Amino acid sequence: MIAERNKFGFIGGGQMGEALIKGVLAAGLYQAAELTVAEPSAPRREVLAERYGVRVHPDAGPLWEECGVLVLAVKPQIMGAVLEQARPVADERKHLLISIAAGVSTAFIEDVLAPQPVRVVRVMPNTPALVLAGASALSPGRHADEDDLKLAEGIFAAVGRTVTLPETAMDAVTGLSGSGPAYVFTFLESLIDAGVKVGLSRDVAGLLARQTIAGSMQLVEEGGQSPAELRAMVTSPGGTTIAGLHALERGAFRSLIMDAVEAATRRSRELGGN
Ligand SMILES: NC(=O)c1ccc[n+]([C@@H]2O[C@H](COP(=O)([O-])OP(=O)(O)OC[C@H]3O[C@@H](n4cnc5c(N)ncnc54)[C@H](OP(=O)(O)O)[C@@H]3O)[C@@H](O)[C@H]2O)c1
């Protein structure tokens, strides 16, 4: 059942909540007057109201009354308390809950609100959602139907690309795309430092490194060739690139990236108590 229009709420107006608000407005999915945000911080409420023209409340109570779709965008540690408070008013016919809290399972949310069979979709977005270039994975809970999933997909498609996966894949998603921007930023910083090491100014190294990463991604997206084919194209026999690649191989670059994703996946599992 698609929840009623004109009633869309965000519980938590932090970084990720704001990214989604910006995305759904930019995509024209909702008008500012249709969105309500519950956010305890007064300065934050002012920023959101001023920047986006959305309605704001200091607590979530009115949102459970007014809204059919609720995005749960609070930190994982306080999710239990937020749901406990909602127990008397949560209604499976009225509410679709979309949780973006890392490590919080749909079963956890369903259990806190039981015996109501609440409709939950769990989503793992990432920070490029702030510039509408996010990567999000979605998993429906036990009671969510196709329309619920479609509605959630529409919201996250407005801030980037989406995939739907079984919930067992969420820790791996966290390790890859959730934590992934930090790996990319570290790679970018390393390239810039490397440019400085070989004699370029920091500004010049920054421009060249940023554009190299952005341009390479565009080539992958638009060129229709695999990363391996594109790499082979710029690796001439006995040339400069193979010398650089050899150094990466000596430092076990790929193995290190695999270790990083594996470590983050493991940590996600630990934090979620799985
Ligand atoms: N940022 C990411 O890359 C990312 C990626 C994937 C998933 N997530 C998930 O997204 C969620 C939000 O992350 P974030 O980075 O946006 O964190 P955040 O910036 O700290 O936002 C959380 C917001 O919720 C507010 N809040 C606290 N208690 C509340 C309550 N009872 N009712 C309503 N609002 C309340 C907080 O206000 P105060 O600051 O005043 O407490 C804060 O503004 C987290 O669960 C995180 O796991 C984040």
Residue nearest to atom 39 of ligand 1 (CA): 41
274: pLDDT confidence band, cut at 50, 70 and 90? low
Per-residue pLDDT at 9 exceeds 50: yes
Supply the Cα-derived Rg of the chain in whole angstroms: 22
Domain 8-170 has CATH 3.40.190.10: no
Q: Which of 36, 39, 46 to mutate to test the pocket of ligand 1 (most atoms within 8 A of CB)?
A: 39
Q: Which neighbouring-strand residues pair with 160?
A: 134
Does the structure show a pLDDT above 50 at 4? no
Q: How far apart are CA 138 and CA 101, in angstroms?
A: 12
Using a 6 Å CB cutoff, which residues line ligand 1? 11-17, 38-41, 44, 60, 73-76, 78, 82, 100-102, 124-127, 178
**Domain boundary assignment for the chain:** 8-170, 180-271
Q: Give which of 221, 115, 106 is closest to 161, Cα–Cα.
A: 221
CATH architecture of 180-271: Orthogonal Bundle (1.10)
CA triplet 274, 135, 178: central angle to 5 degrees? 40
Interior angle at CA 147, CA 141 and CA 149, nearest 5: 40
Q: Indicate if the pLDDT at residue 27 is higher than 80.
A: yes
190-233 pLDDT, tens digit each: 999 999 999 999 999 999 999 999 999 999 999 889 999 999 99
Question: CA–CA separation, 121 vs 184, rounded Å?
Answer: 28
**Atom in ligand 1 nearest the alpha carbon of residue 59:** 32
The 10s digit of each residue's pLDDT in 104-160 is: 999 999 999 999 999 999 999 998 998 889 999 999 999 999 999 999 999 999 999
